[in-house]
Amino acid sequence: MTTSTEALAGAYCVVTGATSGIGKEIARELAAAGAHVLFICRDRARGEATLVELHRESPSAAVRMLVADLSALQDVRAVAEEVYRQLPRLDVLINNAGTHDLRPEVSVDGFDRMIATNHLGPFLLTNLLADLLERAAPSRIVMVASESHRSVLRMDPRTFAEPGRYGPIGSVAVYARSKLLNVLVTQEIARRWTSRGIVANAFCPGLVSTGLVRNIPMGARLFSLAERTPLVRSARQAAEHALRLAGDPRFAGRNGGFYSTTPGAVLLPPSPHRFRTGLQHAVWERSEELVGLS
C-alpha cells in the first residue's frame, strides 16, 4: 500500500510557519519524502537557519523559503505572487503558522492581530493560491486547527476580527475563535471548491510542547511535567497527522473534516457552530470583505 510519504514524493507543497514546532517537522518530513517544499516564514534569519538544517539532513531535497508576516495582508499578497513565480502547480498547502498572543495587539491592517495571523492571512493566502492548487487537481489543503474551537460560545461574523480587550478569560477565547474560523473555512472550501478538484481538511495536533504553548503563563512549567505523560505529543507525531491528510491515499476522498488526535476527544460533542452552514457562509463572505477579495 502506498504511504503518505511515498505519495508526496515529487509533490509541490507550501507550508507556513516552518521555523519551529509542528511546521518545522512537517517541512522536515516533506523534504525527506522527496517533495518540493516551499515554506513561508516571517523571520528571514530563522528561515535561513531552518533551510540549512533541512538541507543538511536531506541534501538532495528541493527546499526553498519565502518571507512574509501572515498577519499583514500586503505581505500575503506579495508572497502569493512569488509562489506563482516559483511553482508550476501546488499539490498541497499546509496552513500551519499560528500564534497565541497573550495581550491584544492590532495588525497593520487594523484587525485583532491573533485573528489576522491565524485566520485572515491564511484565508487570503489560500484564496490567492486556489488557481495554483487547481492546476494540480486533485490537490489538498490541510488546516492546523485545534480542539479549543469547541469552547467558542458565540461567533459573530460581523465582529470576529475587531480589535479590543481580551476580557476575563483573556487570550484563550480569541485563540479558540481563530481556530473555529479555521474549521468553518475548511468546511466552506469543501463546498465551494470540490468541483475544482481541491479538498480541505482540518485537524488538531493534540497538546504539543512548542513555542506556542511555552509562551502561555505556566505553560512551560505545566508542559515540562505533562511531557512525561502520553498527554503531550512531540511535534513529529503532530506532523505525521498533517502528512496523512496531505498525502495518504486513504484520505483522498475526505473533504471538510475535522480530525481529533486527542484520545477521547471524538466522544466530546461537536462545536454547536461546526455544522451551521449559514455561519460558514457568513464567515467566508465577511472574511472576503475584510481581506479585500469581494
Ligand X SMILES: NC(=O)c1ccc[n+]([C@@H]2O[C@H](COP(=O)([O-])OP(=O)(O)OC[C@H]3O[C@@H](n4cnc5c(N)ncnc54)[C@H](OP(=O)(O)O)[C@@H]3O)[C@@H](O)[C@H]2O)c1
CA distance 10 to 36: 6
Pick the closest to residue 18 from 61, 52, 47, 53 (CA basis): 47
The nearest distance, CB 197 to ligand X, in angstroms, is 25
Please count the other Cβ atoms lying within 10 Å of the Cβ belonging to residue 275.
10
Helix (H) or strand (E) holding 96: none
Judged by the rule CB under 6 A, the positions of this chain that interact with ligand X are 17, 19-23, 41-43, 46, 69-71, 96-99, 117, 144, 146, 204-205, 207-208, 210-213
CA 168 from chain centre, in angstroms, equals: 27
| 3-state SS class at 164 | coil
CB nearer to ligand X: pick between 92 and 212: 212
CA 270 from chain centre, in angstroms, equals: 20
CB nearer to ligand X: pick between 41 and 80: 41
CB nearer to ligand X: pick between 36 and 100: 100
Q: Which of 12, 166, 175, 259 is catalytic?
A: 175
CB nearer to ligand X: pick between 140 and 241: 241
State how far the alpha carbon of 168 is from the alpha carbons of 80, 136, 162, 165, 171, in Å. 37, 46, 17, 9, 9
Residue carrying the nine cell digits 485573528: 115
Please, what sign has the CA dihedral across residues 5, 11, 15, 19?
Answer: positive
What is the distance in angstroms between the CA of the first residue and the CA of the last residue of the chain? 43
The nearest distance, CB 175 to ligand X, in angstroms, is 7
Pick the closest to residue 28 from 3, 5, 1 (CA basis): 5
The nearest distance, CB 200 to ligand X, in angstroms, is 15
The nearest distance, CB 2 to ligand X, in angstroms, is 27
CB nearer to ligand X: pick between 41 and 200: 41
CA distance 98 to 120: 11
The nearest distance, CB 117 to ligand X, in angstroms, is 4
Q: Does residue 175 carry a catalytic annotation?
A: yes
CB nearer to ligand X: pick between 45 and 252: 45
Please count the other Cβ atoms lying within 10 Å of the Cβ belonging to residue 47.
19
The nearest distance, CB 153 to ligand X, in angstroms, is 19
Q: Which residues are catalytic?
A: 175
